[in-house]
Structure 1
Amino acid sequence: MASDEIDYNIVFPDAGTSERHWQGTKEPVVILLGWAGCKDKHLSKYSSFYNEQGCLTIRYTAPLKTVFISESFGYKELSSTALKLLEILYDYEVENSPIFFHIFSNGGFMLYRYIVELLHNDKQFSSLCVIGAVVDSAPGSVNIRGALRALRATLGPKISPFLRYVLLALFAVTVFLLRVVLYPLTKYIHKNHYDAVWERPPVWPQFFLYSSEDQVVRHRDVELFVGNLKQKGVPVDLFDFVSSPHVSHFREFPEQYVLKCRNFLVACMKDLEGTEKKKRHLIQNQ
């Protein structure tokens, strides 16, 4: 469905399923941010296993031009998109529910970056309760070869070879100039997603799923990023699927993938329940 110029899909869980899994507590709202070029039919396969666990899910994928062009040139279109996504929670009156993110590739992480900034800086969203995030195949630092692979896969076979070559060449030159050669200067105007979240990460638990064989996002970028979060005291873990291609861990290892995501969500909900019990205990003893 569409709201304020963004297309998203929302699925409400069956009441009986939610009660069975969450036993009277508010069911989590899982926000899935798709990879560049992701079709909703692909993203829905991920949301389905959260729906089966009694979660409300919201699916959204940023447009290709926003990910590959706007961000490359430093236009912050995704900032307004992040705002609209968070406002959806208020539109459906689920702003008091636990919020959980599932992010895919740099395309999803670019949008996640602006959501994190809003949750840090905007008083409107200070009451939102984010309990955790799964990050699949991200984040990657400047990697022109990987970005070109991602763009080539996204363009698909329907586009003519000549046009594909022109688009890839223009993209490579732009990224190299703005994100490599001139980045020591342009970063003061617009940091890339990797550096922005590196410098001011979210405080909620995060679980990074990646692969040593990923040809788009380098595994060492993910590992360095996680190491930085640990040094900053952020609860974080990671798992290497070793052999699966970029954003293909679920396709290659479906049972293991679902189990890890569900277990992490349950652990985040238990942490929230423990925190709320401590708050009630403190109030009762005042």
Structure 2
Amino acid sequence: MSADEIDYNIVFPDAGTTERHWKGTKEPVVILLGWAGCKDKHLSKYSSIYNEQGCVTIRYTAPLKTVFISESFGYKELSSTALKLLEILYDYEVENSPIFFHIFSNGGFMLFRYMVELLHSDKQFSSLCVIGAVVDSAPGNANIRGALRALSATLGPNISPLLRYFLLALFAVTVFLLRVVLYPLTKFIHKNHYDAVQDRPPAWPHFHLYSRADQVIRHRDIEQFMDTLKKKGVPVDSYDFVSSSHVCHFRDFPEQYTRKCRSFLVACMKDLEGAEMKNVYKVSETWKRN
């Protein structure tokens, strides 16, 4: 691929599956944004939840350096990635389909933040119809200990201990200075993902899947985020798996996880159909009066 391209995967379901589930309506396009260090073979297991439901899926995971370095230093590299991901919808001519997000951890949520900003501000994307978002194990806020756990797990066992400790120490110092000590000033230059989406949230429904046993993202950060969105009128639902670790809810509870994701998607599609019917009714009444 060229330097301007991103490494994504798109899957189209067979026509029979789509017709069986959506009965002539446009099938949803589900955009899955992986956690930092996520391999595509893992993300593809989640996309199968939706492919088997007759949906188109686009899956992408941001590079580690972008999540842990660029964002920490305030470089908005993910903004251009967000733009390319939304342009994919036009490349494959699915921009008129309902759009649905499935986001994992802070790595996915950082990218989601920029996609939300583009959907708010860019005229090119004003016609896109986003119907909802599943948010798995996110977002976290200024949790250095959790971020270090995530980075350590991402580095893997093959890296030398000396290099591991050096990278973790450098990351901890950088994040502490820029995102904690100096954040009252640096936020005017580069607001973090948690505050950015919380301050100007999208209107579509959110469904947060999390666990109190998560050692990377604190459950109270997620709960506080949900409370803020609710106060701003955003429909928010959630489920606490209680015992599963970070982004392991599907691994530990596959049937329950799948059922909840599909049920939420179907509910979002029904809400869309209801809204369209209301618009049709309004147009019809206007026509009759005229």
Structure 1 partner of 2:67: 67
1:284 positional shift: 1.2
**Deviation of the 1:5 alpha carbon:** 2.1
Counterpart in 2 of 1:285? 285
Counterpart in the other structure of 2:258: 258
Structure 2: distance between partners of 1:212 and 1:47:
25
Label 1:38 to 1:132 Cα distance change in 2 as closer, same or farther (>3 A): same
Instruction: Show the counterpart of 2:270.
Output: 270
Residue by residue over 1:209-240, the C-alpha shift from the partner in whole angstroms, topping out at 9 and shown as x without a partner, is: 00001000000000000000000000011110
Alignment RMSD, CA only?
Answer: 0.9
The alignment status of 1:179 with 2:179, answered yes or no, reads yes
Cα distance in 1 between the residues matched to 2:124 and 2:171: 37
CA distance 1:285–1:84, shift in 2 (3 Å): same
SS at 1:237's partner residue?
Answer: strand
Question: Match of 2:22?
Answer: 22
Gaps of 5+ in 2: none
**Structure 1: runs of 5 or more not aligned:** none
State TM-score, norm by structure 2.
0.98
Shift of 1:285: 1.2
Matched, 1:96 2:79: no
User: 1: CA distance between counterparts of 2:89 and 2:11?
Assistant: 13
Question: Hey, what's the Cα distance between the residues in 1 that align with 2:18 and 2:238?
Answer: 28
> CA 1:88/1:24 → structure 2, altered by over 3 Å: closer, same or farther?
same
C-alpha distance in 1, partners of 2:4/2:249? 33
Shift of 1:57: 0.1
Q: Does 1:218 align with 2:225?
A: no
Secondary structure at 2:259's aligned position in 1? helix
Distance 1:16 1:274 in 2: 25
For 2:243, the equivalent position in structure 1 comes to: 243
- Answer yes or no: is the 8 Å Cα contact 1:2–1:8 preserved in 2: no
User: How many Å separate the matches in 1 of 2:176 and 2:280?
Assistant: 54
Secondary structure at the counterpart of residue 58 of structure 1? strand
Alpha-carbon separation, structure 2, partners of 1:58 and 1:202:
20
The CA deviation at 1:49 is 1.3
Instruction: Read off the aligned partner of 1:102 and give its amino acid letter.
Output: H
- Flag the 1:160–1:3 CA change in 2: closer, same or farther, 3 A: closer
Scaled by the length of structure 1, what TM-score is found?
0.99
Identity %: 83
After TM superposition, the structure 1 = structure 2 runs for residues 49-198 of structure 1, keeping only pairs within 5 Å, are 49-198=49-198
The number of residues matched between the two structures is 286
Cα offsets for 1:20-51 (capped at 9, x unmatched): 00000000000000000000000000001100
